[in-house]
Amino acid sequence: MASIPASERRPAAPKMRLSLSDPIFRSVVYQVVVVGAVGSLVWYLVSNLEANMETRKIASGFGFLTREAGFAILQKLIDYAPTDTYLRALIVGVLNTVLVAVIGIVLATILGTLLGIGRLSRNWLVARLCTGYVETLRNIPLAVQLFFWYVVIKDNLPAVRQALHPLPGFFLSQRGLAMAVPADNPANPWILAAFAVGVAATVALSRWARRRQAATGQPFPTLWVGAALMVALPILTWLAAGAPTAFDVPELRGFNFRGGIVLIPEFVTLLVGLTTYTAAFIAEIVRSGILAVSHGQTEAALALGLPRGLTLRLVVLPQALRVIVPPMISQYLNLTKNSSLALLVGYPDIVSVANTTLNQTGQAIEGIAIIMAVFLAISLSISGIMNWYNKKIALVER
């Protein structure tokens, strides 16, 4: 059987006889039986499928992708019109999924980290408040929360004409969130480029600093110099361009806002829902990660004469991260998969675009296969990274 190591097998029998007490033969039999059973189940299902498709006159294949989609999409990152193909519609959907997932992950990480640290605060009120947040939000289904936020925005925010104006340049109404953005300026790409140069210079600098410290033992304040580079270079570029301060401010024209960026209410709902829900889980991860590093580690580092900042960076954080990162990545995966609940609030992500597609074309199998393929691609690549990272940081055991 499976659990008997090869070394314990009896010495070669004088005559080879196929018997179930022979572990190798037995394992082959088991595998053949299981694979055969699964295979015949699949064969049975597929033969049913073929018969059903024939009687219902459903064509198979992905030919429909090049046909005209004929439906409009609320939010699109690339040019799209109803006259475009289904394929393009699906790409718009994928991009929308990625957009809400990426922004959601960033915001949830920030909010979750703050909450996780807050739960460990010495201030009783802060700790209780954060605990209350976590215990409330993670025990209510995301679908309920999304519906809740949707009615808050759709039924309870003022109409466009009475839009709330919480911060200069921001307008919140039933039509979503309108935001001011820096106006188009020839200097904008250069400012971005300057930031990229700053990042590259910081990376090079930290490599050089590490080598120098290894050789001479002299530390170099990489963190501060790097931060200064990344901030100063874009600002200098901005100043060199004459410090343009023009903003593209949304203005009320007729029944809607013009100019700036308008986030549709469906996007705002989904983003708020995903962020606040996932942050509750991230808070727990951050908290347990910090608690997992025993206080003796900090004391030992301080006893060795390391300053507090270095203790945190070189002793506490690496150990906390080992605990934090794997569950954190699975939360990121959850957030991405949960973005499929967009369907509930009408945000045009890949699931709702594929759903419309399969309703219009009747290509159920292809539509669902596309949804699953997109999510599998995202999940497998993230879990690939996670396994690689896990292997890298895991403690080596005997």
Q: How far is the CB of 351 from other proteins (least distance, A)?
A: 6
Q: How far is the CB of 208 from other proteins (least distance, A)?
A: 38
Which residues are paired to 171 by β-bridges?
178
Closer CB to other proteins, 86 or 150, in the complex:
150
Closer CB to other proteins, 115 or 209, in the complex:
115
Radius of gyration of the chain from Cα atoms?
A: 28
Q: How far is the CB of 53 from other proteins (least distance, A)?
A: 7
Closer CB to other proteins, 50 or 251, in the complex:
50
Closer CB to other proteins, 51 or 261, in the complex:
51
Closer CB to other proteins, 127 or 187, in the complex:
127
**Environment class of 8 (CB within 10 Å of its CB; exposed 0-12, middle 13-18, buried 19+):** exposed
Chain position carrying tokens 């200098």? 236
Closer CB to other proteins, 237 or 357, in the complex:
357
Q: How far is the CB of 373 from other proteins (least distance, A)?
A: 9
Q: How far is the CB of 194 from other proteins (least distance, A)?
A: 36
Closer CB to other proteins, 33 or 167, in the complex:
33
Residues 6+ apart with CB under 8 A from 17: none
Residues 6+ apart with CB under 8 A from 120: 127, 287, 290, 291
Footprint of other proteins (CB under 8 A): 1-4, 27, 30-31, 34-35, 38, 45-46, 48-49, 51-53, 55, 58, 122-126, 129, 135-136, 138-145, 147-148, 150-152, 155-156, 337-338, 340-341, 343-344, 351, 355, 358, 364-365, 368, 371-372, 375-376, 379-380, 383
Instruction: Please tell me the distance from the alpha carbon of residue 112 to that of residue 119, in angstroms, as a whole number.
Output: 10
How does DSSP classify residue 202? H
Which residues are paired to 178 by β-bridges?
171, 262
Q: How far is the CB of 155 from other proteins (least distance, A)?
A: 5
Q: How far is the CB of 256 from other proteins (least distance, A)?
A: 22
Closer CB to other proteins, 96 or 202, in the complex:
96
- What's the order of all strands across the beta sheet hosting 176-179? 170-173, 176-179, 261-263
Instruction: Please tell me the distance from the alpha carbon of residue 233 to that of residue 193, in angstroms, as a whole number.
Output: 9
Q: How far is the CB of 168 from other proteins (least distance, A)?
A: 22
Q: Helical H runs in 57-166?
A: 86-119, 124-137, 142-156
| Helix (H) / strand (E) containing 286 | helix 265-292
User: For 49-64, b where at least 16 C-beta lie within 10 A, e where not — what string?
Assistant: eeeeeeeeeeeeeeeb
Q: Are 248 and 260 in contact (CB under 8 A)?
A: yes
Closer CB to other proteins, 132 or 219, in the complex:
132
Chain position carrying tokens 């299902």? 45
**Environment class of 325 (CB within 10 Å of its CB; exposed 0-12, middle 13-18, buried 19+):** middle
User: Quick one: tokens of 201?
Assistant: 């210079």
User: Quick one: tokens of 295?
Assistant: 């206080």
Closer CB to other proteins, 314 or 365, in the complex:
365
Q: How far is the CB of 307 from other proteins (least distance, A)?
A: 22
Q: Are 150 and 281 in contact (CB under 8 A)?
A: no
Q: How far is the CB of 97 from other proteins (least distance, A)?
A: 10
